[in-house]
Structure 1
Amino acid sequence: MTGTSQPVRIVCAGGAVQDNVMRVEKFPAPGEKVSATDFVITSGGQAGNAAVAMARLGAQVTYIGAVGDETDDVANTILKTFAKENIDVSHAIRVPGARSAASLILLDAEGEKMIATMRPTGLHAATPADPDGIVANADAAMLDNRYSNISLPICLAAKKRGIPRVLDFDKPTPADDPLFQACSHVICSADAIRESTGVKDLPGALKKLGESFGEFLAVTDGPDGVYWLDRDQGSGEVRHMDAFKVKSVDTLGAGDTFHGAFAVHFVETRDVVKAMRFAAAAAAIKCTRFGGLMGAATRDEVDAFLKERG
C-alpha cells in the first residue's frame, strides 16, 4: 500500500509469452525420450510474469506490450490469463498479422529449467500510442529490456513524472543503452551483466557497470541471493543479501517475481533493502510451486513467510 493506504499502481511494459511447461525427472539427452509427470500451459515472459506477481501482491497493474492480432489464439489466451488476475490489458497492442511469442519449457526434479522461445519479429515494431497518458496515474513503471520499443517510451514518460522506473536487465546491453540509462532502479540477471561487462565475477561486474550508471544497481544470482551497489558508500561498495533457503520445485519466473515484488515494496517503503528482502521472499515462495507464475504468492503469503523467517 502507498502512504494513503491505496493499492500501488504500476504500469508493466514489455514482453508476454505463452509458456508450455512440462516437469520431468531429468532432462533428455539428444535423441532420448523421457516421460513427463506434469504439464501446464500458462502465460509468462519477463513483463508478463512481473505483472502477475505484482497483481498477486495487491498492486493495481496495467500491462502494455505487443501481442498477436485478434486471430492469434496464443495472444488471446495470454490476455485472458492476465485479465483473470485483475490486470488491466486495455493498452495491450494487437499487431496486425503477428503472432505472440511462445516458449517450450522443461523442468527437472531439482526445479532447474531448459527453455526454447519463439519471438516473432513483427512484435518489435509496435510502439505505445500515448505513453504519457498510460503512466499519468501510476506510482511506478516496471520494464523489461527485450522489448525496448515498448519499454523505452513508457520509461521516458515515467521519468518526466519523476516516478520509479524498475528495469529487468535480462538481455545483454551496452552501458549507453537509452532504456538502461533512463531507469532509476536496475536489477540484472547474472548472465546478462557478465556478458554486458565481460566480467565473470558478479561484484566486479556490478562495479564495472556502475562506472557508467549512477542509480540503484543490483544483480540476482538465484539461490546465491542478490548483490547491489551501496551508493551511500561513496563510489559504491558491493553488498550481498542471502536468498531464503527453500526446496525448489520450479524456478521458472523467480527472477521476474523478484523484480515485480521489489517494485511494489519499494513504492510502499522507499527502502531498497526492505524491498529486496520482500522480493526474495516472494521469489522463494514461487520456487516451491510448479506452474511458472501461476505459483506466484499472495501478499498474505509473503507477509507470513517473512514473519516465520524472522
Structure 2
Amino acid sequence: MNQGSTPSVPKTGVFAGISTLDIAYLVDGYPAEDTKTQARDQFTGAGGPATNAAVAYAALGGAPTLVTAVGTHRLGDLIRNDLSAHGVRIVDVCAGSDHQPPVSSIVVAESAATRTIVSLDGARIAVEYDRHLADLLSGVDVVLVDGHYPGLAAGLCERARSLGIATVLDAGRFKDSHVALLPHIGSAICSAAFAPPGIAGGDTDAVLAYLRGAGVENIAITNGGKPIIGLTGNREFRIGIPETDAVDTLGAGDILHGAFAYFTSTGHDFVRALTSASEVASFSCRFFGTREWCTRLSELPGRGTSRPWV
C-alpha cells in the first residue's frame, strides 16, 4: 500500500439461517451395514447453508454477520469458536436458549467424491423476526438467506429490499415457506431438486417460469458438475462448471452461494458473479471438509491474473 493511501473497506453481508455442528469422516468407500470403519481423516466445525456461505464470504475478503440460533448449549461453543476463527460475526437470536444445536453426521467417500449426511433441521428451534434486527442492515451490501427460519428470512429480506440491498436465496429443495419469501428475493440460486407444487423435478423451464412469476429477477439452477442454467432479465444463460480433481463435495453449494454473494457485493453482474463463484466452489472440492480451501486460495487456478477477487 502506498504511503498516504486509504485502506479499502471490506464489503459487508448479512447471512441468515441454520447453524449445525458438522462431524465429517473421510473414508475410502462407503461402509457396509453393521460394520466398523477406520476413517482416514475427520472434520469438526460449524455447518449449514448460510453458515458455510458466510465463511466463504469472509475467506474472499468480506465482512459477514451471521444471524442464527446457537444458544447456551455446550455444543454451541464449538460453532462459535469455529466461526470466530474464520472471521464471521454471530448474532444469536436464541442467545438465552439451552437447546442443542443440530448435529450433522457426514461420511465422505473419497473414491466416489460424494458425501452422505444424516442431520436434523432447525424445525425444533423457534426463531422469529425481530424488527430490531433491521439495524444490522445499515451499510450492508448483500443479504443471503437459506430459508430454514422462514419468519427471520422474510423479515430481513423485506426490509433489505426496501433499502435497495441485494437479496439472495439459497434454495435447495422447495419449501412451502418459499411462497411468502420469494417476492422479497432479487436472486435465487436453486438446486436441480427444487420442485414447486405441480412441477416435476428437473423441469428447468417450468422452475424458471415459476420463479420469474414469483417476482425473482435473477435465477440460477445448479446441478452438481453439470452446467448452471439460468435467467437474468430476458437473457437465458448457461455456465460450465470447471473440472477439478474432487475429493469432497461437502458444502460446495454453500460455498458457491457465499462466493456469489461476495462477487455481487463487489459490483459484478449476475452471470459474472456466478461464473467466478463456480470456480471457487469447484476449487473447494479438492479438499476434505469445508475449511481447508480457505487457506489454499493462492493455489486457485488463475489467481493473480484477472480474477475479480484479486
Same fold (TM over 0.5): yes
Is 2:68 aligned against 1:65?
yes
Report the Cα distance in structure 2 between the residues aligned to 1:177 and 1:194, rounded to whole angstroms. 9
Report the Cα distance in structure 2 between the residues aligned to 1:279 and 1:207, rounded to whole angstroms. 24
Is 2:42 aligned against 1:39?
yes
Secondary structure at 1:191 match in 2 = coil
Q: What is the match of residue 261 of structure 2?
A: 263
Q: By how many angstroms is 1:173 displaced?
A: 2.7
Q: What is the match of residue 164 of structure 2?
A: 162
Report the Cα distance in structure 2 between the residues aligned to 1:296 and 1:17, rounded to whole angstroms. 19
Q: What is the match of residue 24 of structure 1?
A: 27
Q: Structure 1 residues 43, 294: CA separation in 2 closer, same or farther (over 3 Å shift)?
A: farther
Q: What is the match of residue 82 of structure 1?
A: 83
Q: Unaligned 5+ residue runs, structure 1?
A: none
Alignment of structure 1 residues 224-303 onto 2, 5 Å: 224-233=226-235, 237=236, 239-296=237-294, 302=300
Report the Cα distance in structure 2 between the residues aligned to 1:195 and 1:302, rounded to whole angstroms. 40
Report the Cα distance in structure 1 between the residues aligned to 2:163 and 2:298, rounded to whole angstroms. 31
Report the Cα distance in structure 2 between the residues aligned to 1:249 and 1:130, rounded to whole angstroms. 42
Secondary structure at 1:124 match in 2 = coil
Q: Structure 1 residues 293, 123: CA separation in 2 closer, same or farther (over 3 Å shift)?
A: farther
Q: Structure 1 residues 144, 214: CA separation in 2 closer, same or farther (over 3 Å shift)?
A: closer
Q: Is the helix fraction higher in 1 or 2? A: 1
Q: Structure 1 residues 214, 90: CA separation in 2 closer, same or farther (over 3 Å shift)?
A: closer
Q: Residue 17 of structure 1 contacts residue 101 of structure 1 at CA under 8 Å; is this kept in 2?
A: yes
- Amino acid paired to 2:26: R
Q: What is the match of residue 152 of structure 1?
A: 154
TM-score normalised by the chain length of structure 2: 0.87
- Amino acid paired to 1:78: I
Cα deviation, 1:114-152, whole Å, max 9, x if unaligned, reads: 000123544233444512201112111011112223222
TM-score normalised by the chain length of structure 1: 0.87
Q: Residue 93 of structure 1 contacts residue 126 of structure 1 at CA under 8 Å; is this kept in 2?
A: no
Q: 2:136 aligns with which of 134, 137, 144?
A: 134
- Amino acid paired to 1:248: A
Alignment of structure 1 residues 188-227 onto 2, 5 Å: 188-193=190-195, 197-227=199-229
Aligned identity (percent) is 26
Q: Structure 1 residues 76, 176: CA separation in 2 closer, same or farther (over 3 Å shift)?
A: closer
Q: Residue 170 of structure 2 contacts residue 188 of structure 2 at CA under 8 Å; is this kept in 1?
A: yes
Cα deviation, 1:133-182, whole Å, max 9, x if unaligned, reads: 01112111011112223222211221121110011012313596121221
Report the Cα distance in structure 1 between the residues aligned to 2:233 and 2:129, rounded to whole angstroms. 34
Q: 1:183 aligns with which of 169, 182, 185?
A: 185
Number of equivalent positions:
300
Cα deviation, 1:26-46, whole Å, max 9, x if unaligned, reads: 112333433321112111101
Q: Unaligned 5+ residue runs, structure 2?
A: 1-6
Report the Cα distance in structure 1 between the residues aligned to 2:298 and 2:119, rounded to whole angstroms. 33
Q: Structure 1 residues 196, 16: CA separation in 2 closer, same or farther (over 3 Å shift)?
A: farther
Report the Cα distance in structure 2 between the residues aligned to 1:196 and 1:124, rounded to whole angstroms. 30
Report the Cα distance in structure 1 between the residues aligned to 2:206 and 2:39, rounded to whole angstroms. 40
- Point out 4+ residue stretches in structure 1 off by more than 4 angstroms: 297-303, 305-309
